[in-house]
Chains A and B, each alone.
Chain A
Amino acid sequence: MAEFFLELFSEEIPPKLQKNARDFLLENFKQIFKEKNLKFKSSNSYSTPNRLIILFEGLDKEIKEKSEEIRGPNINAPEKALEGFLRSNQITKNEIYKKNTEKGEFYFFKKQEKTVNTFDLLEKNVPLILDKISWKKSMKWNDFEMEWGRPLKSILSIFDNKKLSFKFYHLESSNFTFVDKEFEDKKKIFKNFSSYNDYFNKRGIIINQNYRKKLIEKQLQKISERKNVNLEINVKLLNEVVDLVDQPHILSCKFDQKFLEIPEEILIITMQHHQKYFHTFDQKGNITNEFFVVANIKDNKGFIKIGNERVVDARLSDASFFWEKNKSQNLIKQISKLKSINYFEGLGSYFDKVQRMRKLGALISDEMLISKEKIELLTSICKIDLISDIVNEFPELQGVIGGYFASSQGFDKDISLAISEHYLPTGLESKVPKKPFSIALALTDKIDTLVGFFGVNQKPTSSKDPYALRRSALGIIRLLLENKKEFKITDLIKYSITLYRDQGFNFPNEKVQEELSTFLIERLKFYMKQKDIRYDIVEASIDSFSIDQASQMYSKALALNRVIIKDIGNDIILSYKRASNILENELKNKDLDLSNTTDPGIFKNEYEKNLYKKIHELRKYFTSINKDEDYYVTLGNLANAKPTISDFFDNVIVNDEDHAIKKNRLELLQMLCKTFDNYINFASIESIK
């Protein structure tokens, strides 16, 4: 057994590409070893910004392919079959012989015992595997044909302490690598991975990214304890930083305390997104001016700490300059400035948009029984932050910054919160606004957006959704369902269309109403599937209700989904199916005309009377429930009807000779099904037993 060690040295490869390359190469080597039946003890892939490493330990040096007799085609088979057999085994006609078997006479070939040498196998296959690698983004350099994530400089390739020799484009494999990543002119020969790893370890370079990650995490914890600050390590940032360095050194830095007056979100974006620093909080949860930098070299002269601190100070002084300038600019006085920013071709300016939102919001406020004046104010000022310098600098903070402006200018808390949250939710995981004004504003904005873009035919396609309309639609769904709110969405859409028309925007698309309702239903389906609601229940719900009853629809589906595999669910479905199956058959075969009236006068037995009574009990229950329906109670009541229903079917023959009696019994069954359908249309729901 021996070690296979491959190192690909290149200029700095971005973190995401490193991970992809590591996984791809490891997987492909495993695959080829599996194909050839080569066993190994362990396999690993490592990377630094400059080095990609594949390591197999305890790999078989050779594998014996056993001697065996291989049967070919029947001797009477067409010539082509024989040719194929020869070709696939890479043999000639001289090597085969005929032999009789129970099934007839066949051609045979005796395959000799053969030793496959791993060394040879690798020399042949390493360049093939390297060539297969698919980079998300790759490049060319110089005049070479090779494509790689960044310029590849050398290939160190060793098996069993010996150099593998192969060519890969303009490069020749070797047993050395460049040990100084900057100048790439110091070469060193290595025989195996452990001497390689030791060499770099002694110089403070950590080849294994998992060790680097642990080390950085541990040091960050230690240093934050020493500084008495809290640190929430952002996993994405940590993983990125791990792949940006090979000799991590943590520096504890500070920015000027005066910048703590800027909104926290700006500080965090500056440090985390722009500079890849780790920010900290004090014991009360307030952000502090202490932050940690993961440098890639020891800061012997203290330059690096000062440099990083100055970069943050410069960036924050920029932000602070804008923040100070913008925060006192009166929001209301700026409304007319929205005329200067275009919303979208054919949909007017942002001024036009907020004028529409004002009216649509007012309608929503009526439904929600909240202050109309407040909503009108909110809709008018919620987009003002778009003309501020600070949102121009930090576009990802739109809304949030508007909220800060409002609160610094003394608006009520629910107003600033609503502005701050009005782009939410932005996906399946994002926070959903819960306060009435926040819900109203978020809903208003999204409906206006969707109606407008659908109106000018900028609808998403299966692969493209440049204006994130799916996200907006899902946002509406989540706002409704997760707040258990019901809105007449179809009316809101209709009203929104007229608002556009009143402004003189005539939509080229005349089917906005239908298309948008369907689009919202699609998102609702998607949401229900994400919540693991069974497909047939989703379909039945969509069948039974419109988008205007989305919340009710969802809650009912959720409740039914929970009980469907239990006895309650089973009882309901079986009861319903017994009735609906008979009904369906009878209705199909004869031209029977049911009139939706049952005549209790011609009931012949107790079972009929009992069922009739039960149905009436259920009907009474359904008419008595109000908005606070407990869906589990409803489902329980339906399930409780099972004994009565079973008694009926066990003792009554629906198909009576007397046509009037038969018809009356069918009427009874239809009445039963229709009563059940008050909850949801059960017809297409399957029982699992």
Chain B
Amino acid sequence: MPKKIKKIKKKTKPKFQSFQDTILNLQKYWSKQGCVIVQPYDMEVGAGTFHPATTLRSLGTKPWKVAYVQPSRRPTDGRYGDNPNRLQHYYQFQVLIKPSPKEIKKLYLNSLSVIGINHNDHDIRFVEDDWESPTLGAAGLGWEVWCDGMEITQFTYFQQMAGMQCKPVSVELTYGLERICMFTQQKKNVFDLLWNNQGIEYREVFHQAEKEFSAYNFEYANTENLFKIFDMLEMEAKSLIEKKISLPAYDQCLKASHVFNILDARGVISVAQRAEYIGRIRDITKGAAEIWVNSQK
């Protein structure tokens, strides 16, 4: 029966999904699950978790379902575009559901099928990973999800956020989009990823940015000014907290956090200073979050 053989062959050949289709498919899928689809936060953040739609909305008792893509910046991970696996700017797809639904694992595994990963064909593993963010004063328990040995998602039940206990508990899914696409598109170099189906590659969209931002983060950022800016942002945050304006106060925390990350990449923060700066960010974040929670009552 040659027909049947052909069919099987067609089936086993993995479908290539472009980078942008992967994002679109995840948005569509989570939209169908009742999530509010919001857009990326318009500010430099280190991870999707920092978006107020996650940090602030995970607090308080009101139910909340949200999904979005978030460009994330980690200045220390820059490699001038030379390394096939490292970027200082990359994309995370973020889902937050409060309270965590009973069938979240099923929802997650089904979401993998829409981006070309059928869990029956792959070794999907939930490997212990307890998450902590000292700058956010946040902690959670969960796993990193491995697909055939590669980490593709962070799966976390928030226990604490901005120093406050989470009740009810939210579940957060963070998909590493570049990694997932390198896996589904079978690419060894992130810059070879197909961005769309018209032959545009990741390289064309971001390679120059990687090069220039690596140079900025490691060599050219004016550290003297950045230290001053950090102080100013902290002051602004404190004054806004005093005036009980939560969201603009939280924005200052995000900005301060990014300034700190650049200073860190420039190598001008000593071990002892590090803990001090992180503590300062955590304090203003806590202040902003507390006002936000009170405003929800």
Binding site for B on A (CB under 8 A): 11-12, 14-15, 49, 137, 139-143, 150-151, 153, 182-185, 244, 275, 277, 293, 295-297, 299-301, 303-304, 306-308, 310-314, 317-318, 321, 340, 342, 344-345
Tell me which residues across on chain A come within 8 A of B84, comparing CB atoms: 314, 317-318
Q: CB distance A183 to B188 under 8 Å?
A: no
What CA separation (Å) do A304 and B150 show in the bound complex? Answer: 10
Known: A14-B128, A307-B147, A318-B83. A313 touches B157 (CB 8 A): no
Q: CB < 8 Å: which of A139, A183, A308 contacts B148?
A: A308
Which residue in A183, A306, A317 is a CB contact (below 8 Å) of B106?
A183
Please state if B271 and A342 are interface contacts (CB–CB under 8 Å).
yes
**B183 CB within 8 Å of chain A:** yes
* Chain B residues within CB distance 8 Å of chain A: 12, 14, 82-86, 99-103, 105-106, 109, 119-128, 130, 140-141, 143, 147-150, 157, 159, 167-169, 171, 182-183, 186, 188, 267, 270-272
Q: Are B141 and A137 in contact (CB under 8 A)?
A: yes
A182 B159 Cβ-Cβ under 8 A: no
- Chain A residues with Cβ below 8 Å from B143 are 12
Do B271 and A184 have beta carbons less than 8 Å apart?
Answer: no
Task: Judge whether B150 and A307 touch: CB under 8 Å.
Answer: yes
Please report the C-alpha to C-alpha distance between residue A300 and residue B123 in the assembled complex, in whole angstroms. 11
Residue contact B171 to A141, C-beta cutoff 8 Å: yes
Query: Which 8 pairs show the lowest CB-CB distances between chains A and B?
Result: A307-B148, A14-B128, A143-B168, A12-B126, A342-B270, A345-B272, A308-B149, A139-B141
- Complex formed: what's the CA distance from A301 to B8 in Å? 11
A251 and chain B: residue at smallest CB distance: B123
CB pair B141–A296 under 8 Å, yes or no, is no
Chain B residues touching A, majority SS: loop
In the complex with contacts A150-B141, A182-B109, A11-B12 CB distance below 8 A:
no
A140 with B159: CB separation less than 8 A: yes
**CB of A108, distance to nearest CB on chain B (Å):** 55
Most A CB contacts (10 A, CB to CB) among B86, B106, B128, B159 go to B128
CA distance A163 to B257 in the complex (A): 55
A296 close to B123 (CB less than 8 A): yes
| Distance between Cα atoms of A303 and B184 in the complex (Å) | 11
A275 CA to B186 CA in the complex, in Å? 19
Q: How far is the CB of A143 from chain B (nearest CB, A)?
A: 4
- Shortest distance in angstroms between B139's beta carbon and chain A's nearest beta carbon? 10
CB-CB under 8 A from B125, the residues of chain A are 244, 296
How far does the alpha carbon of A344 sit from the alpha carbon of B272 in the complex, in Å? 7
Kindly state the separation between the CA atoms of A648 and B2 in the bound complex, as whole angstroms.
111
Which B residues lie within 8 Å of A300 (CB)? 121
Do B100 and A139 have beta carbons less than 8 Å apart?
Answer: no
Name the A residues within 8 Å of B82 (CB-CB). 321
How close is A665's CB to chain B, nearest CB, in angstroms? Answer: 67
Q: How far is the CA of A306 from the CA of B157 in the complex (A)?
A: 31
Cross-chain contact A139 with B149 (CB below 8 angstroms): no
Pick from A139, A277, A317: contact of B188, CB under 8 Å: A317
Asked if A311 and B106 make an inter-chain contact with CB atoms under 8 angstroms apart, the answer reads no
Bound Cα distance A14, B148 (Å): 18
Bound together, the chains give a CA A513 to CA B159 distance in angstroms of: 47
**In contact, A275 and B271 (Cβ under 8 angstroms):** no
Q: How distant is the Cα of A15 from the Cα of B12 in the complex, in angstroms?
A: 34
Q: In the bound complex, how far is the Cα of B267 from the Cα of A185, in angstroms?
A: 52
Residues of chain B lying within 8 A (CB to CB) of residue A344: 271-272
User: Whole-angstrom distance from the CB of A9 to the nearest CB of chain B?
Assistant: 12
Q: A183-B109, A293-B149, A345-B272 are in contact. Are A340 and B267 (CB under 8 A)?
A: yes
Within 8 Å CB of B168, what residues of A? 142-143
Complex-state Cα separation, A142 to B103, whole angstroms: 11
Task: Indicate whether A182 sits within 8 Å of B106 (C-beta atoms), given known contacts A139-B159, A308-B149.
Answer: yes
Cα–Cα distance between A289 and B172 once the two chains are bound (Å): 37
B159 contact set on A, CB distance < 8 A: 139-140
A198 CA to B103 CA in the complex, in Å? 27
Cα(A11)–Cα(B103), bound, Å:
11
Do B271 and A139 touch (CB < 8 A)?
Answer: no
Q: Tell me the bound Cα distance from A255 to B140 in angstroms.
A: 35
Which of A141, A183, A244, A318 sits near B157, CB closer than 8 Å? A141
Q: Which residue of A lies closest to B147 (CB)?
A: A307
Number of A-B residue pairs at CB separation under 8 A = 120
Chain A residue nearest to B11 (CB atoms) is A301
Most buried by B among A49, A151, A295, A299: A151
**What are 9 A-B residue pairs whose CB atoms fall within 8 Å in the complex?**
A137-B130, A182-B106, A300-B121, A301-B121, A307-B123, A308-B148, A310-B150, A312-B149, A317-B85
CA distance in complex: A637, B101 (Å): 81
A143/B148 contact (C-beta < 8 A), A185-B106, A296-B125, A297-B123 known: no
Closest to B109 in A: A182
Bound: A293/B141 CA distance, A: 26
Q: CB-CB < 8 A to A137: which residues of B? A: 130, 141
Find out whether the CB atom of B272 lies under 8 angstroms from the CB atom of A314: no
A141 touches B85 (CB 8 A): no
B65 to chain A, nearest CB (A): 14
A300–B11 Cα distance when bound, in Å, is 13
Contact B99 A142 (CB under 8 A): yes
B12, chain A: closest CB distance, angstroms: 5
**Closest-CB distance, B153 to chain A (whole angstroms):** 13
Q: Which of A185, A303, A313 has the most CB atoms of chain B within a 10 A radius of its CB? A: A303
Which one of A143, A185, A293, A306 contacts B99 once the chains associate, using CB atoms below 8 Å? Answer: A143
A194 to B126, CA, bound (A): 28
Give Cα A562 to B54, complex, Å: 67
Q: Which residue of B lies closest to A392 (CB)?
A: B76
**Which A residues lie within 8 Å of B12 (CB)?**
301
A296 to B145, CA, bound (A): 13
Q: Are A314 and B188 in contact (CB under 8 A)?
A: yes
Q: Which residue of A lies closest to B179 (CB)?
A: A314
Are B148's CB and A304's CB within 8 A?
A: yes
Q: Which of B99, B149, B169, B272 has the most CB of A within 10 A?
A: B149
* Bound: A49/B168 CA distance, A: 25
CA distance A72 to B34 in the complex (A): 68
Chain A residue at minimum C-beta to C-beta distance from B159: A139
CA–CA, A680 and B84, complex, Å: 66
| Chain A residues whose C-beta falls within 8 Å of the C-beta of B122 in the assembled complex | 297, 303-304, 307
**Is A303 in contact with B121, judged by CB distance below 8 angstroms?**
yes
- How far, in angstroms, from A299 to B122 measured CA to CA in the complex? 7
Do A244 and B127 touch (CB < 8 A)?
yes
A49 touches B126 (CB 8 A): yes
Complex Cα spacing A296 to B123, Å: 6
Q: Tell me which residues across on chain B come within 8 A of A311, comparing CB atoms.
A: 148-150
A556-B182 Cα distance, complex, nearest whole Å: 65
Most buried by A among B99, B150, B167, B267: B150
Question: Are B148 and A182 neighbours in the complex by a CB distance under 8 Å?
Answer: no
- Residue on B nearest A17 in the bound complex, by CB: B128
Cβ–Cβ < 8 Å partners of A306 in chain B: 148
Q: How far is the CB of B180 from chain A (nearest CB, A)?
A: 12
B123 to chain A: closest CB distance in Å? 4
Chain B: which residue is nearest A296 at the CB level?
A: B123
Nearest B-chain residue to A183, judged by Cβ: B106
B267/A184 in contact, CB under 8 A: no
A308 to B270, CA, bound (A): 38
For the complex, what is the distance from the CA of A662 to the CA of B86, rounded to whole Å?
A: 89
Q: Which residue of A lies closest to B127 (CB)?
A: A244
Q: How many whole Å from B112's CB to the nearest CB in chain A?
A: 11
Q: Among B103, B157, B188, which residue has the most Cβ atoms of chain A within 10 A?
A: B157
CA distance A656 to B200 in the complex (A): 112
CA of A313 to CA of B201, assembled, Å: 22
Q: Give the docked Cα–Cα distance between A307 and B124 (Å).
A: 11
Which residues of chain A are within 8 angstroms of B140 by Cβ–Cβ distance?
139
B287 shortest CB reach to chain A, Å: 25
Min CB–CB distance B85 → chain A (angstroms): 5
B271 contacts which of A143, A185, A296, A345 (Cβ < 8 Å)? Answer: A345
Find chain B residues with CB under 8 A from A295 CB. 123, 148
In the assembled complex, the CB of B34 is this many whole angstroms from the nearest CB of chain A, namely 16
Output the least CB separation between A408 and chain B (Å): 22
A597 to chain B, nearest CB (A): 62
Closest to A295 in B: B123
B271 and A182 form a contact (CB under 8 A): no
